[in-house]
Amino acid sequence: MISDFLEADLTDLSWLISTRELSSTEVVTAALERLGRLEPKLNAFITVLDEQARAAAKTADDEIAHGRHRGPLHGIPITIKDMFATSGVRTTGASKILLDWVPNFDAHIVERLDAAGAILIGKTNLDEFGHGGTSTLSHFGPVHNPWNTERIAGGSSGGSAAAVAARIGPLSYGTETGSSVRRPASYCGIVGFKPTFGIISRHGSFRGAWSQDHVGIFARSVKDVALGLDATAGYDSRDPSSVQQNSPTYASHLDGNVKGLRLAVPRRFLEGTESAVKEAFETALKALAEAGCVIDDLDIPELSYAAMTSMITSSAESAGINRRWFRERHQDFVPHVARGLAVGMTITASEYLTVQRARHRIREALHEAYKKTDLIVSPTTPRVAPPISEGVKGNGDDTRHASNNHSNLLRFPSMLGLPGCSLPCGISPDQMPIGMQLIGAWFSDQTVLNAGLAYQSLSDSHRLKPPIEQ
Amino acid sequence: MSEKDRCAHRLALLGDVEFSTTDREVIASEIAEMERILTELEEFAQDTPWVSLQAQPIEKTLDHD
């Protein structure tokens, strides 16, 4: 019975709790028990909030029993990346530097989730301060993929992705500076969504790179992502990039009708993609075409420079963010991260601005591209999750030259602030999940979610379950 | 300035921060890589008049209806 309701998605769990067919206490207890059983295999968590979560669940049950149901997240067990400040609960960024730091304030998303009645059961593992694409660069050791614990979960939000894939809570929040939501979502076979820059406030989150950081959401269905977005989107004066917006209503505006929606495939960047990934992607495109999407190829040569522009930008900005710690405590950083910061420290202001000119040129190219298409679609990653032994070397697939390398497709959405979603679209012969990403124009978050919903109504890939403790 | 001198100039920017010889070699190799990237990007950005600094004007209101 316990495993049955942990299998339910957020939408169904919410209904069961609101109608009191299930109590929040039952669901939270089951999620904590599952976490306890799987954590030795996954290493997905840095801090588990056992007592606090059980007490909050009891409060939620009392409120609901008295007719005070706060909404779809009320009583639902959730997790967040340990990048977000939590009042009274240690917040480490997976770094030795902040091993015992206990903030006296909550991050914006923590405030919002608390107001929505969500129950925080744990803070998830990551690459130190978000600097990495593997979730192996953590002071607390690597996160393991629930589909195969010898493989990486992807990063930097790997603990969040692994937790949702392993059915430890239906919803988790991470951050993305390069590809840190979409990549782990793809590797772990779940949905990962990063909204347009400014939609969710980053107040109270460690900075990876000011101009590229986003808060993102993990779930197993697009509908659940939309519910998670409604709960946390909105203007916040504490984040200078926050967008003025009315109360968000993404979930209620979900519409799976994609007739006439224009999808473009930037094929030059798919060279080198594994055959199983290519095959799953082409099958997904066929399904979307049958649903009414108009699919075409679109060449955007400027994207050849996206990965290196993004990497130099984040390298310089992260050096600026960590300047003091680097000077005073560089030996306490994970070695790979410390070396990356050292390189960033040597970038001059004029070099940084040159790179921002390159970034502007790529931005202009994308402005033009989105006059011809509604969404840019591609495999999220060119291959399935690599072994941990390979992942510990750093960022995995990233390129450092102007090239047709796929990592340009991973990097451009965060660099330009575009909304993007990775969806499961197949499984490889070695039983690892494959992801497809949909990238929209600025503020077309609803279109991205609608297309994702349409695809999930045509596919069963998001219902596949990792073999860990089946 | 030779590549070696440019690298030494950049490493001097690290000030008093000490790294092991092995780490310094890795950092020097990364710096050489970065210099190649910067050369490519400078060429690519040559005719672009503006810089891109991603920040949302706060007067914009997003209407969800």
Give the model confidence (pLDDT) of A205-214 as tens digits: 999 999 999 9
CA dist A258 and A253 (Å) reads 13
Partners of residue B1 in chain A, C-beta under 8 Å: none
CA dist A177 and A131 (Å) reads 9
pLDDT of B44 > 70? The answer is yes
pLDDT of B64 > 90? The answer is no
A37 within a domain of the structure (yes/no)? yes
Q: What is the pLDDT of residues A217-251, one digit of tens each?
A: 999 999 999 999 999 999 999 999 999 888 889 99
Q: What integer pLDDT is reported at residue B6 of this predicted model?
A: 87
Cross-chain Cβ contact A249/B65 below 8 Å: yes
**DSSP 8-state code for residue A305:** G
Instruction: Give the residue carrying structure tokens 């959401």.
Output: A217
Check if A419 contacts B (Cβ < 8 Å): no
Enter the tokens of residue A37. 């059983």
| Helix A306-321, helix A407-416: angle, nearest 10 | 50
A177 within a domain of the structure (yes/no)? yes
- Residues in chain A, pLDDT under 50: 1-3
Number of folded domains that form chain A: 1
A351 within a domain of the structure (yes/no)? no
Ramachandran area for residue B15 (φ above 0: left; ψ -120 to 50: alpha; else beta)? left
Q: What integer pLDDT is reported at residue A397 of this predicted model?
A: 54
Enter the tokens of residue A255. 């519409």
Cross-chain Cβ contact B65/A443 below 8 Å: no
The catalytic residues of A are 81, 156, 180
Check if A325 contacts B (Cβ < 8 Å): no
Cross-chain Cβ contact B37/A356 below 8 Å: no
Cross-chain Cβ contact B56/A243 below 8 Å: yes
Q: What integer pLDDT is reported at residue B55 of this predicted model?
A: 66
Instruction: Give the residue carrying structure tokens 């690519």.
Output: B44
A75 HSE (CA, 13 A, CB side) = 31
Cross-chain Cβ contact A355/B44 below 8 Å: no
Give me the domain span that covers residue A183: 2-300+363-463
Q: How far is A280 from chain B (nearest CA, A)?
A: 33
A327 within a domain of the structure (yes/no)? no
Q: What integer pLDDT is reported at residue A392 of this predicted model?
A: 64
Ordered by start, the domain boundaries in chain B are: 3-45
Partners of residue A243 in chain B, C-beta under 8 Å: 56, 58, 60-62
Contact status, residue A350 vs residue B40, Cβ threshold 8 Å:
no
CA dist A115 and A117 (Å) reads 5
Check if A350 contacts B (Cβ < 8 Å): no
Residue of B7, B16, B59, B64 to mutate when probing chain A, most A C-beta within 10 A: B64
Closest CA to A27 of A50, A48, A55, A57: A57
Ramachandran area for residue A417 (φ above 0: left; ψ -120 to 50: alpha; else beta)? left
A318 within a domain of the structure (yes/no)? no
Closest CA to A378 of A266, A253, A292: A266
A68 within a domain of the structure (yes/no)? yes
**Confidence band (pLDDT; 50, 70, 90) for B15?**
confident
A247 within a domain of the structure (yes/no)? yes
A116 within a domain of the structure (yes/no)? yes
CATH of the domain at A94: 3.90.1300.10
Instruction: Give the residue carrying structure tokens 């939270």.
Output: A28
Q: What integer pLDDT is reported at residue A244 of this predicted model?
A: 87
